[in-house]
Amino acid sequence: MLGAIIGDIVGSRFEWNNIKTKNFELFTRDCFVTDDSIMTLGVAKAIIESNKDRDILRKTVAAHLQEVGRPYPDCGYGGMFHRWMYMDDPQPYNSFGNGAAMRISPCGFAASSLEEAKILSKIVTEISHDHPEGLKGAEATSVAIYLAREGKSISEIREYINKYYYPMDFSLDEIRPTYRFNETCQETVPQAIMAFLESSGFEDALRNAISIGGDSDTLAAITGGIAGAYYGIPVDIRESALSYLDRFQLNILRTFESVYGTNSEIKSINCLRVNTKDNVVTLIKEIEEGEEVTGKDVPSGIRSFSKLQLGHKIAIEEIGEGERVIKYGETIGYASRMIEPGEHVHVHNMVGGRGRGDLE
């Protein structure tokens, strides 16, 4: 959930001043919390108070959104939703605005099954954004977060979204020159998901989202929710973001994290690098083709060339032909050809060096 809030804060200063590059400072004095974060916290509070009881959640979620949202009348609500926020008896208004997806991340984090991620999303969304496109945008986001939490690979997440929600048949480079501000789910959610799919880490995902322009805070909030579930959130970025939240907002966040967990560290590791001299790592779990290689002191952005079982070795640096293959700080062989980062290292591209004086 915090990933969505971070995306909102980082993107806040670019919503009306788009930037078509990934080169920018993440946090400045011009950043602020917008309605994306406020409503995310409102959904979180509703889930906490209902304990995910669907009947209770259905009856109370609107009141919780109003309770959390009304103290912040100038945080950026759209015209229709602003009226909804201050109604005595708020009703859905057939909206397919991207506000449906920007606030949904707590559902993906709280869900204990894929089906529950969908059900919670529907309950939380239909109170205002009951148009089919609004419901779809929220559900796609909630599902992507749940799949990321469950350790699905980027390729698996892409395949699921492509099959059931939106065609993932474009690239950010293709749309960046012409993409413009759009507040609909159907023109925000696919782009935000693609920003995650093309990323190499949490921060990179946010930079991807903001670099295409458009509704920057909402794009980055959607992307950040998914990226936070997949990569985890680096501690320094977490701490910087928390400084923008007031005491009321922090209390909701910390309560939610105490129940459903936190991604303050990198979510999980799949390999072991024992010595900083090592140019290969050993897998400690199965890895999918295209999955990022993650572990302590492992450079970010390296993706496995192939599906591999635990115990196998992957290069984390380019190893030239004839150069040493180093594991546990010791030379275990020599590259028989050039080996790229992310490539499986085995007998097909390495020769043993023990006892080979000609290779010493």
Order of strands, edge to edge, in the sheet holding 330-335?
A: 324-327, 330-335, 350-352
Given a cut of 60, whether residue 33 has pLDDT beyond it is yes
Q: What is the mean pLDDT of residues 182-211?
A: 96
Categorize the per-residue pLDDT at 261 as very low, low, confident or very high, splitting at 50, 70 and 90: confident
Residue 206: which of 195, 218, 193 has the closest Cα? 195
Ordered by where they begin, the domains of the chain are 2-260 (1.10.4080.10), 269-360 (2.30.130.110)
Ranges of H-type helices in 20-171: 35-50, 54-69, 79-85, 99-102, 105-110, 114-125, 132-149, 154-164
Taking the C-alpha atoms of residue 267 and residue 265, their distance in angstroms, rounded to an integer, is 6
268 band by pLDDT with thresholds 50, 70 and 90: low
pLDDT at 262: 66
Query: What percentage of the chain exceeds 70 in pLDDT?
Result: 96
**pLDDT confidence tier of residue 227, bands split at 50, 70 and 90:** very high
Residue bearing tokens 């395949």 = 159
What is the model's pLDDT at position 308?
A: 93
Closest C-alpha to 210, from 11, 67, 42: 11
Residue 123 has pLDDT above 90, yes or no: yes
Average pLDDT value over all residues in the chain:
92
Q: What is the pLDDT of residue 4?
A: 97
Q: What residue ranges in the chain does DSSP mark as E strands?
A: 271-272, 280-283, 313-315, 324-327, 330-335, 344-345, 350-352
The answer to whether the CB of 128 falls within 8 A of the CB of 92 is yes
**What is the reported pTM?**
0.75
> What pLDDT is recorded for position 310?
79
HSE (side-chain half, CA atoms, 13 Å) at 154: 21
Phi and psi at 315, nearest 5°, equal -75, 140
pLDDT band at 356 (very low <50, low <70, confident <90, very high): very low
Provide the 10 A C-beta neighbour count for residue 283: 20
Please list, in sequence order, all residues whose beta carbon lies within 8 angstroms of the beta carbon of residue 113, skipping any fewer than 6 positions away.
none
Confidence of residue 264 (pLDDT cuts 50, 70, 90): very low
The confidence band for 41, taking pLDDT boundaries of 50, 70 and 90, is: very high
Whether the pLDDT of residue 265 is over 70: the answer is no
* Contact between residue 272 and residue 284 where contact means Cβ atoms under 8 Å apart: yes
Unique residue bearing structure tokens 């507040």: 183
pLDDT digits 0-9 by tens, 137-175: 999 999 999 999 988 899 999 999 999 999 999 999 999
8 Å CB contact between 321 and 346: no
